[in-house]
C-alpha cells in the first residue's frame, strides 16, 4: 500500500459522523482551553464548532485528490467575522489556528504510531499529510486575515462601531453617561428591559439569515409591546436584542417566532442599565441551555435552576436569585439569620417540624412559628416557590452573606 491509498482509506474512515465529531471535540477542547475568549458565550462556541467541523470535512474530502485545491469553508469565514464583529484582536483568530494545527499534528502522529509499522510508509504518509494540511491552513489563514481586516474596517468606519462599543461598555460594567448612551443607541436605557438572543439554523442560506433575524426581532418587539428596540449583531447568524418595556413583558415570544429556523433565548425584565446587563446575561445563559436541547424558545425563567446548578450566570445570577426570592429574609441581623436557618432545616427535612425541632433542639411549635415569621418576610407561602427559595437559602447558608459570595462571571 502506498501513501496515497493509505490516506484515501484514512479519510474515508474519518468522515464517518461519529469519528468526525470526536475530532471536532478534540480540536475545539484544546482551542477553548488555550483561547478563552472563544468560550465567552454560545455564539462563539457554535461558530467555532461549525468552523472546525467544516475544516475536517474539507481536508478529508481533498486529502488524496489531485490537484489539491484548498478552499476556506464558509463556516470559517463566519467565525472570522464574528471575532472581528466582537472587537477581538486578530491574535485571537491566529491563536485558534496555531492551537488547531498542533492538535491536528498530534492526532495524526498518534494515529500512525498505532497503525503503521512500516517505517518507510509511515514517513511517506506523514510527509504527504503535512504538506497538504500546511497548504490547507496557510491558504485558510491568509484568506481569513483578509476577511477579518475587511470586517473590522467596515465596523470602524460606520456608526455601527460606535453602537457596538457603547453596548459592550455597558455589558462590561463600564460607567457610562446614561443619557448620552441612550442618544447614541437611540434606545431608552432608563426604562425596564427584556433581552433576548436570536440565532438562525445552520441550514438557513446565508443570504436569508439577516432578513430572518431582523424580521423575527421586529415581530418579537411588537408582540411584547416594546417602547423601543435595540439590536446588534454578535455573529454571522446571531442577533442580540433588547426591548424597552414600561411594565413586565408579556409571554408572547413563542407566537412571534414565525420563522421555523430562527430560535430565541430570553432573559427576564429588569430596570435601568443594571437590568440591561442582567437580562442579557440571563438570555446568554438560556441560549447555552438551548444549544444542548434545541427548541424554538428558551426562557431563562424556565431554566434558571438548571443554569444555577451548572454555573451558568455566575455570581451575579446567584445574588439576583437571593435578592428576588428572599428579599428581607436575606438580611444579616441575628434574628433573621435564625429564621433562615430554621426554614432551611425545615425544608431539607421535608417540612417535618418535629424532626427539624429535634435537629435544632427546640419545640416543634417554635419551628412552626419561625417558619410563619419567615413566610411573612417572604410575603408568600414557601410552597409557592419552594425549589427557588430552598436553593437561595442553601447558597446563603454556605457563604453566610450575599457580600461574601465570591465574584465569578457567568
Which pLDDT band, with edges at 50, 70 and 90, does 73 fall under?
very high
- Block residue for cell numbers 457567568: 410
**pLDDT tens across 340-351, in order?**
999 999 999 999
Question: Is the confidence at residue 33, as pLDDT, over 90?
Answer: yes
Percent pLDDT > 70 in the chain is: 95
pLDDT at residue 284 in the model = 93
Averaged pLDDT, 103-131: 92
Q: Half-sphere exposure of residue 86, counting CA atoms within 13 Å on the CB side? A: 26
Are the CB atoms for 224 and 267 separated by under 8 Å? Answer: no
Flag whether the pTM goes above 0.85: no
Which pLDDT band, with edges at 50, 70 and 90, does 250 fall under?
very low
Joined together, the cell numbers standing for residue 149 give 481586516
**pLDDT tens across 328-385, in order?**
999 999 999 999 999 999 999 999 999 999 999 999 999 999 999 999 999 999 998 9
Averaged pLDDT, 320-325: 90
Write down all domains in the chain, each with its CATH number in brackets: 3-157 (1.10.490), 188-310 (3.30.70.270), 322-404 (1.10.10.2840)
Q: Half-sphere exposure of residue 377, counting CA atoms within 13 Å on the CB side? A: 22
- Computed over every residue of the chain, the mean pLDDT equals 89
Per-residue burial over 63-76, b = 16 or more CB atoms within 10 Å of its CB, e = otherwise: bbeeeeebebbebb
Question: Is the confidence at residue 142, as pLDDT, over 90?
Answer: yes
Are the CB atoms for 200 and 262 separated by under 8 Å? Answer: yes
Question: Is the confidence at residue 225, as pLDDT, over 80?
Answer: no
**pLDDT tens across 171-224, in order?**
999 999 999 999 999 999 999 999 999 999 988 888 889 888 988 888 888 777
Angle at 295 between CA 294 and CA 300, to 5 degrees: 100
Question: Is the confidence at residue 157, as pLDDT, over 80?
Answer: no
CA quadruple 35, 313, 44, 231: dihedral positive or negative?
A: negative
**pLDDT tens across 282-302, in order?**
999 999 888 887 788 888 988
Residue 389, SS3 per DSSP = helix
Amino acid at each position: 500500500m502506498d501513501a496515497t491509498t493509505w490516506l484515501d482509506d484514512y479519510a474515508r474512515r474519518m468522515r464517518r459522523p461519529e469519528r468526525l465529531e470526536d475530532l471536532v471535540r478534540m480540536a475545539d477542547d484544546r482551542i477553548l482551553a488555550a483561547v478563552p475568549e472563544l468560550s465567552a458565550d454560545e455564539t462563539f462556541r457554535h461558530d467555532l464548532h461549525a468552523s472546525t467541523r467544516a475544516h475536517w470535512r474539507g481536508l478529508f474530502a481533498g486529502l488524496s485528490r489531485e490537484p489539491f485545491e484548498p478552499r476556506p469553508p464558509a463556516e470559517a469565514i463566519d467565525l472570522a467575522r464574528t471575532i472581528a464583529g466582537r472587537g477581538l484582536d486578530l491574535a485571537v483568530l491566529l491563536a485558534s489556528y496555531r492551537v488547531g494545527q498542533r492538535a491536528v499534528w498530534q492526532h495524526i502522529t498518534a494515529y500512525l504510531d498505532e497503525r503503521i509499522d512500516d517505517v518507510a510508509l509511515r514517513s511517506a504518509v506523514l510527509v504527504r499529510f503535512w504538506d497538504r494540511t500546511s497548504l490547507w491552513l496557510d491558504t485558510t489563514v491568509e484568506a481569513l486575515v483578509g476577511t477579518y481586516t475587511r470586517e473590522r474596517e467596515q465596523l470602524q468606519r460606520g456608526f455601527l462601531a460606535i453602537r457596538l462599543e457603547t453596548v459592550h461598555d455597558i455589558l462590561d460594567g463600564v460607567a457610562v453617561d446614561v443619557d448620552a448612551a441612550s442618544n447614541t443607541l437611540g434606545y431608552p436605557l432608563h426604562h425596564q428591559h427584556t433581552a433576548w438572543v436570536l440565532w438562525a439554523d445552520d441550514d438557513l442560506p446565508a443570504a436569508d439569515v439577516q432578513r430572518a433575524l431582523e424580521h423575527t426581532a421586529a415581530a418579537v418587539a411588537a408582540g411584547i409591546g416594546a417602547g423601543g428596540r435595540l439590536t446588534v449583531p454578535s455573529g454571522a447568524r446571531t442577533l442580540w436584542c433588547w426591548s424597552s418595556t414600561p411594565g413586565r413583558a408579556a409571554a408572547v415570544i413563542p407566537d412571534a417566532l414565525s420563522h421555523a429556523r430562527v430560535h430565541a433565548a430570553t432573559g427576564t425584565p429588569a430596570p435601568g442599565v443594571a437590568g440591561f446587563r442582567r437580562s442579557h446575561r440571563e438570555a446568554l445563559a438560556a441560549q447555552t441551555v438551548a444549544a444542548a436541547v434545541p427548541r424554538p424558545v428558551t426562557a431563562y425563567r424556565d431554566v434558571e435552576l438548571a443554569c444555577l446548578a451548572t454555573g451558568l450566570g455566575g455570581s451575579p445570577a446567584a445574588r439576583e436569585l437571593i435578592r428576588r426570592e428572599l428579599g428581607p429574609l436575606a438580611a444579616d441581623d441575628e434574628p433573621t439569620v435564625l429564621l433562615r436557618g430554621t426554614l432551611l432545616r425545615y425544608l431539607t427535612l421535608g417540612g417535618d417540624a418535629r424532626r427539624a425541632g429535634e435537629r435544632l433542639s427546640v419545640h416543634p411549635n417554635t419551628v412552626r412559628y419561625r417558619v410563619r415569621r419567615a413566610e411573612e418576610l417572604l410575603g408568600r407561602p414557601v410552597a409557592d416557590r419552594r425549589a427557588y427559595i430552598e436553593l437561595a437559602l442553601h447558597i446563603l447558608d454556605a457563604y453566610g452573606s450575599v457580600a461574601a459570595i465570591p465574584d465569578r462571571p457567568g
